[in-house]
A = this chain, B = another copy of it.
């Protein structure tokens, strides 16, 4: 979850072959539309119209509508993981101690979600999760694996911390790891539902505070 937070890496867009550019444009349009109104309510017609190609041009790039969903989620998950990797790298660089590094990471995370809502209409993971049965089993499995992977990422880090700092509250580390994702997903829903775009960031800040307190820092 929080899966939600990847940004577009639009670099060197003009050097890529034409077909890849069109494909990316369709994926961008599909992302926004799906997160706004759902997968079933997003028609191929509206996407190709916005992309400026014909309906059959779509089927040159995607086998069918399910294929669009699959490619979309794959790209999204890859970009997010890359971004988290980069943030973890920077945080670890700035502090040797795993707890302080994690708190720096969460500060970066907070900043990331800060402008996230300003740029994105929502979170693809939440959208997929909430229209589960609209997607084929491959997409559903992809989604589940991505969530579990992030759980594992944070859990490993938290175990490192717990080896050095005693936990001050009665909580399983798995749940603390999930809490990072839960805050992002729930925060995005809160922001979307209320229209208070800054709410997500404030929830991320509260989450960071919770982690800090959990280890008594």
A56: min CB distance to chain B, Å: 24
- Assess the B134–A206 pair: CB atoms within 8 A: no
Q: A40-B40, A131-B37, A132-B36 are in contact. Are A126 and B178 (CB under 8 A)?
A: no
- Assess the B41–A206 pair: CB atoms within 8 A: no
Contact with B along A113-141 (1 / 0, CB 8 A): 00000000010011101111110000000
Chain A contact residues, CB within 8 Å of chain B: 1, 35-41, 122, 125-127, 129-134, 143-144, 147-148, 151, 168-172, 175-176, 178-179, 181-187, 189-190, 192-195, 199, 202-203, 205-206, 209-210, 213
The 8 closest A-B pairs by CB, nearest first: A186-B186, A182-B186, A40-B41, A37-B133, A38-B131, A40-B40, A185-B186, A38-B38
Query: Can you list 20 A-B contacts (CB < 8 A)?
Result: A1-B193, A36-B132, A40-B41, A122-B130, A127-B130, A129-B189, A130-B130, A130-B189, A144-B194, A169-B213, A170-B209, A171-B206, A176-B206, A178-B190, A178-B199, A182-B189, A184-B186, A185-B185, A185-B186, A210-B213
CA distance A193 to B38 in the complex (A): 16
A133: min CB distance to chain B, Å: 4
Q: A38-B130, A41-B133, A172-B202 are in contact. Are A185 and B179 (CB under 8 A)?
A: no
- Assess the A130–B134 pair: CB atoms within 8 A: no
Copies of this chain in its oligomeric complex: 2
- Assess the B187–A182 pair: CB atoms within 8 A: yes
- Assess the A192–B132 pair: CB atoms within 8 A: yes
A193 / chain B contacts, CB cutoff of 8 Å: 1, 125, 129, 143-144, 147
Given contacts A1-B193, A182-B187, 5 further A-B contacts (CB under 8 A): A126-B126, A178-B199, A178-B202, A181-B186, A182-B183
A142: min CB distance to chain B, Å: 11
